């Protein structure tokens, strides 16, 4: 089959790769649309510590079931599906307590195993979710990033009417904005780039520029109390550190943004007891795909309209361009016809 292959940091080519065969409980999926995620850019640039080259990236995958293994029930060849790319062991402590997203042996399709930048990809049938009829493959490929937003909002117990401060308006920030809006929250989004704030505004968020007086502005908007919920989606240490100031006493902080391995984040320790805030990490998702597809199909998620479509076989040029100029594309999606 044909695939777009990451060969080494900053080296990628389109060429032949052995066509995968589905095992007894797996399905072979013909790829239709596959998103470009920050995670893929990390593999491209050599910043993903888990990658062993060569690898086929792409974990935001929508495609048509081509064939199924002998033990598979519930999905049929010809069905349009999205793939839940996180494969957990089911045996370790986090798996046993219902947190397979933190599995000690997690394998991600498109990171540890061949992903969607190819003609075909194999996945366990249990990880396929049927796409509602209203959705195109491109829109359905947004299910995975939307699940990240859903999981973070579930972690933060975002409620209707609540003031929710979202730090960062990149692709994941936009997913957070839309999910929190769908939950009825009053969303205030922060970024340093005007172009990103403009997009956030079109999605129904109030916006604040991430400048020196952000705390003052948030206090002013919240009767000097601070934000009941702060969701961090920049991965910038200074921004992560600012969350303890921005949150209201008794409020919740959800950290979604990633920092590099070994990087320290510092808080004044007294704030943890004085404010008694709940500090939550949020990693990928747990059982969020059905809700993500529902939100997309019901028209409550709009940001796939900012996507730029690329031909999958132009991936080497597209990755070179995006890594040179990260703000040239708000969200890229490869499509195959
Ligand atoms: Zn992703
Ligand atoms: Zn596990």
Q: Which ligand is the nearest neighbour of the Cα of 284?
A: 1
132 shares a domain with 6: yes
Q: Which ligand is the nearest neighbour of the Cα of 95?
A: 2
44 shares a domain with 155: no
Q: How far is the CA of 127 from the centre of ligand 2 (A)?
A: 15
- Is residue 172 one of the residues assigned to a domain? yes
Is the per-residue pLDDT at 261 higher than 90? no
Alpha-carbon torsion (149, 153, 156, 162), positive or negative: positive
- Is residue 233 one of the residues assigned to a domain? yes
Longest dimension (CA), the chain: 62
Over residues 135-188, the pLDDT tens digits come to 999 999 999 999 999 999 999 999 999 999 999 999 899 999 999 999 999 999
Q: How many separate domains does the chain show?
A: 2
Q: How far is the CA of 285 from the centre of ligand 2 (A)?
A: 14
Q: What is the average per-residue pLDDT within 220-241? A: 97
Supply the pLDDT for residue 89. 98
Q: How far is the CA of 44 from the centre of ligand 1 (A)?
A: 14
Is the per-residue pLDDT at 129 higher than 90? yes
261 shares a domain with 167: yes
- Is residue 200 one of the residues assigned to a domain? yes
Q: Which ligand is the nearest neighbour of the Cα of 107?
A: 2
Supply the pLDDT for residue 51. 84
128 shares a domain with 43: yes
156 shares a domain with 118: no
188 shares a domain with 164: yes
Q: How far is the CA of 108 from the centre of ligand 2 (A)?
A: 12
User: pTM score, two decimals?
Assistant: 0.95
Q: Which ligand is the nearest neighbour of the Cα of 58?
A: 1
Over residues 197-216, the pLDDT tens digits come to 999 999 999 999 998 899 99
Q: Which ligand is the nearest neighbour of the Cα of 96?
A: 2
pLDDT band per the 50, 70, 90 thresholds, residue 260: confident
CATH number of 40's domain = 3.90.180.10
Q: How far is the CA of 69 from the centre of ligand 1 (A)?
A: 27
Q: What is the average per-residue pLDDT within 289-309? A: 96
Supply the pLDDT for residue 47. 86
Q: How far is the CA of 87 from the centre of ligand 2 (A)?
A: 9
Radius of gyration of the chain (CA): 20
Q: What is the average per-residue pLDDT within 4-21? A: 97
230 shares a domain with 174: yes
Separation between Cα atoms, residue 165 and residue 214, nearest integer Å:
11
Q: How far is the CA of 143 from the centre of ligand 1 (A)?
A: 10
Q: How far is the CA of 283 from the centre of ligand 2 (A)?
A: 14
Q: At which of 236, 264, 281 does a domain end?
A: 281
Q: How far is the CA of 99 from the centre of ligand 2 (A)?
A: 8
Q: At which of 281, 298, 321 does a domain end?
A: 281
- Is residue 184 one of the residues assigned to a domain? yes
Residue 25, judged by CB atoms within 10 A of its CB (0-12, 13-18, 19+), counts as middle
129 within 8 A of 82, measured Cβ to Cβ: yes
Question: Could you list the residue range(s) of the whole structural domain that residue 28 is in?
Answer: 2-142+307-335
- Is residue 22 one of the residues assigned to a domain? yes
259 shares a domain with 196: yes
Is the per-residue pLDDT at 254 higher than 90? yes
CATH number of 165's domain = 3.40.50.720
- Is residue 316 one of the residues assigned to a domain? yes
Supply the pLDDT for residue 273. 95
Residue tagged 């409550």 (tokens): 300
258 shares a domain with 138: no
Separation between Cα atoms, residue 312 and residue 299, nearest integer Å:
27
Q: How far is the CA of 36 from the centre of ligand 1 (A)?
A: 7
Supply the pLDDT for residue 326. 82
Backbone dihedral region for residue 174 (phi beyond 0: left; psi -120 to 50: alpha; all else: beta): alpha
264 shares a domain with 172: yes
- Is residue 302 one of the residues assigned to a domain? no
Task: Enumerate residues 6+ apart whose C-beta is below 8 A from 80.
Answer: 32, 62, 63, 64, 130, 131, 137, 140
277 shares a domain with 249: yes
- Is residue 33 one of the residues assigned to a domain? yes
Supply the pLDDT for residue 123. 98
Q: How far is the CA of 147 from the centre of ligand 1 (A)?
A: 10
Q: How far is the CA of 107 from the centre of ligand 2 (A)?
A: 10
Task: Enumerate residues 6+ apart whose C-beta is below 8 A from 142.
Answer: 35, 60, 175, 292, 296, 301, 303, 304, 307
Angle between helical axes of 237-246 and 214-221 (0-180°, round to 10): 30
Q: Which ligand is the nearest neighbour of the Cα of 147?
A: 1
163 shares a domain with 106: no
Over residues 62-94, the pLDDT tens digits come to 999 999 999 999 999 999 999 999 999 999 999
Q: What is the mean pLDDT of the chain?
A: 96
pLDDT band per the 50, 70, 90 thresholds, residue 337: confident
Q: At which of 265, 281, 297 does a domain end?
A: 281
């Amino acid at each position: 089959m044909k695939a777009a292959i990451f060969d080494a940091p900053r080296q990628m080519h389109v060429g032949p790769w052995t066509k995968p065969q589905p095992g007894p409980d797996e399905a072979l999926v013909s790829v239709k649309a596959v998103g470009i995620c920050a995670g893929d850019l990390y593999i491209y640039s050599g910043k993903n510590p888990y990658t062993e080259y060569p690898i086929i990236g792409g974990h935001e995958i929508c495609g048509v079931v081509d064939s199924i293994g002998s033990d598979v029930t519930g999905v049929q060849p010809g069905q349009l599906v999205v793939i839940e790319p996180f494969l957990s062991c089911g045996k370790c402590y986090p798996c046993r307590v219902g947190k397979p997203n933190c599995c000690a042996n997690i394998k991600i399709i498109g990171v540890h195993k061949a992903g969607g930048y190819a003609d075909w990809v194999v996945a366990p049938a249990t990880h396929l979710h049927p796409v509602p009829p209203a959705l195109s493959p491109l829109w359905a490929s947004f299910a995975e990033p939307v699940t990240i937003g859903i999981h973070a909002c579930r972690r933060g117990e975002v409620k209707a009417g609540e003031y929710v401060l979202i730090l960062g308006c990149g692709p994941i920030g936009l997913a957070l904005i839309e999910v929190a809006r769908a939950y009825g929250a009053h969303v205030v989004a922060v970024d340093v780039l005007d172009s990103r704030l403009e997009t956030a505004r079109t999605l129904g968020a109030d916006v604040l520029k991430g400048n020196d007086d952000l705390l003052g502005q948030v206090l002013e908007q919240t009767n000097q109390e601070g934000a009941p919920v702060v969701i961090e989606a920049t991965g910038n240490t200074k921004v992560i550190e600012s969350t303890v100031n921005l949150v209201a006493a008794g409020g919740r902080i959800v950290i979604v943004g990633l920092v590099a391995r070994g990087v320290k984040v510092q808080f004044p320790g007294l704030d943890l007891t004085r404010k008694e805030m709940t500090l939550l990490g949020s990693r990928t998702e747990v059982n969020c795909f059905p809700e993500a597809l529902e939100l997309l199909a019901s028209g409550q998620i709009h940001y796939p309209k900012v996507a730029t479509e690329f031909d999958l076989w132009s991936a080497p040029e597209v990755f070179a361009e995006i890594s040179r100029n990260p703000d040239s594309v708000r969200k890229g999606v490869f499509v195959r016809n």
